[in-house]
Amino acid sequence: MEKILFILNQIRPEFDFASSSDFLADGMLDSFDVVALVAALDSTFGISIDGTEIVPENFQNLAALRLLLERHGI
Amino acid sequence: MFDRLILIGTGRVARGCAEVLAHLDLPLTCIEPEQSDFSLVRSFCAQRNLEYKLISERRELSQFFMNISVPSLVVSAHNIYIFPLQVVKNPALKIINFHNALLPKHGGHNAPSWAIFDMEETSGITWHEVIAEIDRGGIITQSEIPIGERTTALDLTMRCADLGIESFKEILPGVLAGDYRPRIQTSGAAYKVHHSKDVPNDGMLDLSWDIRKISAFLRSMDYGKLSVFPPPRLGILGNVFNLHKYTFLEGFDEHDRQSIAFDPPKLSIISGNIQIEAACARRDA
């Protein structure tokens, strides 16, 4: 979880991701941010998140991101 | 000067402008001209109880703008709708637009890609008045962003969005008061409108380029996993391959070293202290 938060804060240091339950509704991530996040997750965890997985449900909050990584064996 | 505010666009820059406009004591309508899974404007309007419209039909949008009769400021930010002459001529409307390049360079679509592909050292953003010619209206303000040797189209697009919001905050008081002097864009060779179907070098990597041009080409095409462009291609040994991945490796000391090694699926290009490795896949016919 700390690694995810670190990555999120590198992309958007102006936001407190730990206290948000919905990054999209709170205006923290747009589609370009999500693509940058995917690239950082791929590189950090040595995975390849598929384009079909780039949907709002997978990037809504920290719990959703953790589930996404779990599906990639992290 | 204005009785109504209208924001049209998508993404971070549109949401940022909507947030600034929402602080004003004027009715605000936010419009998205295309459906987006990651709509920040829709969620922002829902949170603030602001009027929100999704109008993806061009004719309906034009009708909406033509029907406005009260003095209105229209802020266009990351917006795919092109204002037709009938809308621009509506005397009730003052329309300003955000563009992610230093106009008159790189009007139209995917401007960050073209600035990188042209190996420019600096790009930036422009807020300008809207006239019937695309991205040709008077310049209200411009701000520069340096393009580094590793800057991708995605990086530059995101930085432009952030800078666009900051610049909007600065120009808004003057725009609302009519207290600004737009700078007319000079015509000439620098002006070019890129269409959405245009792709740097038609998407084809040219191995006769020097390494910095190859780097610029790959970075200009790089929006991560967003499919802005089709994958870059490489024609070699009578085949065309899609390039799926590239990396830059540093630390070479032999500055005069030049080599190209192609061992499918791996392409490796070394020049000076830059190495590009690309994973290739034969392109389906």
The enclosing domain of B225 has a CATH number of: 3.10.25
| Residues B55, B138 within the same domain | yes
Residue B33 identity: P
Query: Among B152, B171, B193, where does a domain finish?
Result: B193
Taking CB atoms and an 8 Å cut-off, how many pairs form between chains A and B?
57
Asked if B111 and B240 sit in the same domain, the reply is no
Q: What is the dihedral of CA B81, B56, A26, B99, to 10 degrees?
A: -10
Give the span between the Cα atoms of B268 and B257, in whole angstroms: 13
Longest dimension (CA), chain A: 30
In B, which residues are within 8 Å of A39 by CB distance? 154, 224-225
- Based on the fold, state whether residues B156 and B84 are members of the same structural domain: yes
Contact criterion met (CB < 8 Å) for A32 and B11: yes
Give the chain A residue nearest B11 (alpha carbons).
A30
**Which residue of chain A has the CA closest to B45?**
A25
Kindly determine whether residue A56 and residue B154, on different chains, have CB atoms separated by under 8 Å: no
Same domain for B152 and B79, yes or no, is yes
Chain B: closest CA distance from residue A40 (Å): 10
Measure in Å the smallest separation between the Cα of B40 and chain A Cα atoms. Answer: 5
Contact B161, B154 (CB under 8 A): no
Q: Do B138 and B20 sit in the same domain of this protein?
A: yes
Give the pLDDT of residue A19: 94
- pLDDT at residue A4, as a whole number: 95
Kindly determine whether residue A30 and residue B15, on different chains, have CB atoms separated by under 8 Å.
yes
- Judged by CB atoms closer than 8 Å, whether chains meet at A30 and B40 is answered as yes
Could you tell me if B108 and B31 lie in one domain? yes
d(CA B5, CA B241): 49
pLDDT at B285: 43
Q: What is the ipTM of this complex?
A: 0.81
Q: Are residues B158 and A25, on separate chains, in Cβ contact within 8 Å? A: no
pTM summary value: 0.90
Q: How many domains does chain A divide into?
A: 1
Contact A31 B38 (CB under 8 A): yes
Put simply, the answer to whether A38 touches B225 (Cβ < 8 Å) is yes
| CA B179 distance to own-chain centroid | 28
How distant is the Cα of B51 from the closest Cα of chain A, in angstroms? 16
Q: Give residue B239's pLDDT.
A: 75
Taking the Cβ of residue A67 and every Cβ of chain B, the question of whether any pair is shorter than 8 Å is answered with: no
Q: How far apart are CA B117 and CA B214, in angstroms?
A: 9
Q: What is the rounded distance in angstroms from the CA atom of residue B25 to the CA atom of residue B7?
A: 15
Query: For all residues of chain B together, what is the average pLDDT?
Result: 90
By the CB < 8 Å criterion, does A64 face chain B? Answer: no
What pLDDT sits at residue A24? 87
* pLDDT of A57: 93
Note whether B224 contacts A56, CB cutoff 8 Å: no
Taking the Cβ of residue A54 and every Cβ of chain B, the question of whether any pair is shorter than 8 Å is answered with: yes
Q: What does DSSP assign to residue B49?
A: T
CB–CB contact B38 A24 (8 Å):
yes
CATH for A55:
1.10.1200.10
Instruction: Give, for all 285 residues of chain B, the pLDDT tens digit.
Output: 899 999 999 999 999 999 999 999 999 999 999 988 888 999 999 999 999 999 999 999 999 999 999 999 999 999 999 999 999 999 999 999 999 999 999 999 999 999 999 999 999 999 999 999 999 999 999 999 999 999 999 999 999 999 999 999 999 999 999 999 999 998 666 677 899 999 999 999 988 888 889 889 999 999 998 889 999 988 877 778 888 778 887 665 555 567 888 887 788 877 766 777 777 776 654
Written as six digits, the tokens of B219 are: 């970075």
C-beta separation of B35 from B41 below 8 A: no
How do beta strands B28-32 and B4-9 pair? parallel
The shortest CB-CB distance from A31 to any of B36, B44, B46 is to: B36
**Residue A17 sits in which domain range?**
2-71
- Percent of chain B scored above 70 by pLDDT? 93
Domain that includes residue B212, residue range: 201-282
Whether B75 and B188 map to the same domain: the answer is yes
Last residue of a domain, one of B193, B214, B238: B193
Contacting residues for B275 by C-beta, under 8 A, at least 6 apart: B248, B249, B250, B252, B268, B269
Domain end position, chosen among B193, B212, B231: B193
What CA–CA distance (Å, rounded) separates B84 from B182? 21
Instruction: Looking at the structure, tell me whether residues B120 and B153 fall in a common domain.
Output: yes
Is the CB of B11 less than 8 angstroms away from the CB of A38? no
Nearest to B154 among A29, A36, A55 (CB): A36
Cβ pair B161, B9 in contact under 8 A: no
Q: Are residues B26 and B167 in the same domain?
A: yes
Residue B106 backbone class (left: φ over 0; alpha: ψ -120 to 50; beta: rest): left
Does A32 reach chain B within 8 Å, measured CB to CB?
Answer: yes
Quick one: how far is CA B171 from the chain centroid? 20
Considering the domain architecture, whether residues B212 and B136 belong to the same structural domain is answered as no
A38 touches chain B (CB under 8 A): yes
Residues B27 and B50 in one domain: yes
Domain count, chain B: 2
B228 and B141 belong to one structural domain: no
In this predicted model, what pLDDT tens digit does every residue of A22-64 receive, in sequence order?
998 888 998 899 999 999 999 999 999 998 899 999 999 999 9
User: B192-248: per-residue pLDDT in tens?
Assistant: 789 999 999 999 998 888 888 988 999 999 999 888 999 998 887 777 888 877 888
